[in-house]
Amino acid sequence: MLVEMVIDGVEVGEDGDSADRVAELLMRIAAGDDTAFGTLYDMMSSRVFGLILRVLVDRAQSEEVLQEVFLEIWQSAGSFAPNRGQGRSWVLTIAHRRAVDRVRSAQAAGERDVRAGMRELNTPAVAVEEQVELRIESRRVARALEALPEAQREALTLAYFGGYSQSEIAALSGTPLGTIKTRMRDGLSRLRTELGVAV
């Protein structure tokens, strides 16, 4: 008896013998039989790949999804119920669902990129005056840092430009934590004086 089904325009014919064979392989895979998995892959991979390629069009993505499909088959073969459907249909349904998921994921990523681009377009550019001010201020800070003793400069640079905590700086430099705290406190005080900032 020939049973036919259509998944996304792909006609799939199943005769009783091969349907029984796929179902038998799936049950063996559920029991952890990797030889059965290899046999199923050899039997079904080209048909599964054709279905995926028809949905995705892109060959590289289709190859990735093919791997995902067979990984899912290996992991979830135990959920196949022979009394509720044929093995080949079960495998092709997984393939179709994975391919459609990939299309939806790509569309969602594209929409996110468009939204991010629109936000950037709506963000006002930094005015030239602000850029000049920032550069001047950066140079002032760099000169003020250069005026500090090396130990204070190193501690402040690691903390504010490297993102390290005081205990991490102590560990990196092999210096007691109390010494690092003192260096940073004294360094900030001298930096304020150099920059002419009132406390």
Asked if 21 and 101 sit in the same domain, the reply is yes
For the stretch 83-114, pLDDT in tens is 777 899 999 999 999 999 988 888 888 888 88
Asked if 140 and 81 sit in the same domain, the reply is no
Taking each continuous run of H as one helix and of E as one strand, the counts in the chain are: 8, 2
Which whole-number Å values give the CA distances from 27 to 36, 49, 77, 112, in the listed order? 9, 22, 7, 41
In this model, does residue 15 exceed pLDDT 50? no
Asked if 97 and 179 sit in the same domain, the reply is no
> Which residue did the predictor score with more confidence, 198 or 77?
77
User: 103: exposed, middle or buried (C-beta count within 10 Å: 0-12, 13-18, 19+)?
Assistant: middle
Instruction: Calculate the average pLDDT of the chain.
Output: 82
In this model, does residue 8 exceed pLDDT 50? no
Asked if 70 and 162 sit in the same domain, the reply is no
The answer for residues whose C-beta is within 8 angstroms of residue 107's C-beta and 6 or more apart is none
Report DSSP state, residue 79. G
Q: Which pTM does this prediction carry? A: 0.51
Worst-scoring range by mean pLDDT, 33-42, 130-139, 168-177? 130-139
Full residue range of the structural domain in which residue 169 is found: 128-195
Structure tokens, 156: 């402040």
Asked if 53 and 110 sit in the same domain, the reply is yes
Residue 3: pLDDT band (50, 70, 90) is very low
Evaluate whether 105 touches 58 at the Cβ level (below 8 Å). no
> Which residue did the predictor score with more confidence, 19 or 36?
36
